[in-house]
Amino acid sequence: MEPPFELILEEIREVLAHSDFTELDVFLENIIDSKIVVCYGAGRVGLVMKCFAKRLKHLGKDAYFLEDSNVPRLGERDLLIIGSGSGSTKSVLTIAEIAQKHKVPIITLTASPEAAIPRMSKAKIALACKLGENPNPIGVDSIQPMTSLFEQSLFVIVDSLTLVLMQVMAVDSSLMKIRHNVLE
């Protein structure tokens, strides 16, 4: 039996083709203008957001994943980037509410643009994925289990955002490599 690579890649292509990037400029401006960036998400989405935090650090941003033990105090000049397919995962929503209470700006990557967390956000990118709890009519159905399609599409999007930020911030791969951890 051959793995269904092409089916998975086609699902990701469909998601990217139908996702909503209308707030992309504001999304990127928030990243560029922020002093400190903290990324967060739960489960496998959290792993993708951890990868994005690392790339932002390589870009020269003062970036962290929320579960890092050395996350500094955040304020109005900083930024919380949330990944949440449902846009309402309780643990992530609680963090968003705390950020909002302390006036920390939030931007979100989600498959549920009308959910609680995206509504708290200054900008969002809405991925066209159908999730069990997401009635999004333009969302792409998946043969994959649970929220795999969202997580895969999210990873492609944050890596694509990294390429855009590299161009806008005039950072090339060689400079990013200098900032890379040598203890790996």
Residues carrying an active site annotation: 151
Alpha-carbon distance of 113 to 175, in angstroms, equals 35
Q: Tell me the one-letter amino acid at 138.
A: I
Q: How far apart are CA 144 and CA 150, in angstroms?
A: 10
C-alpha to C-alpha distance for 29 and 32, rounded to whole angstroms: 5
- Closest to 27 (Cα-Cα) out of 117, 113, 97, 106: 106
Cα 25 to Cα 23: distance, rounded to the nearest angstrom: 6
Sequence-separated contacts (24+) of 87-90 with Cβ below 8 Å:
87/111, 87/112, 87/113, 87/114, 87/115, 87/116, 87/117, 87/118, 88/112, 88/115, 88/116, 88/117, 89/42
Q: For 19-140, where are the alpha helices, taking DSSP H only?
A: 24-33, 43-58, 90-101, 116-120
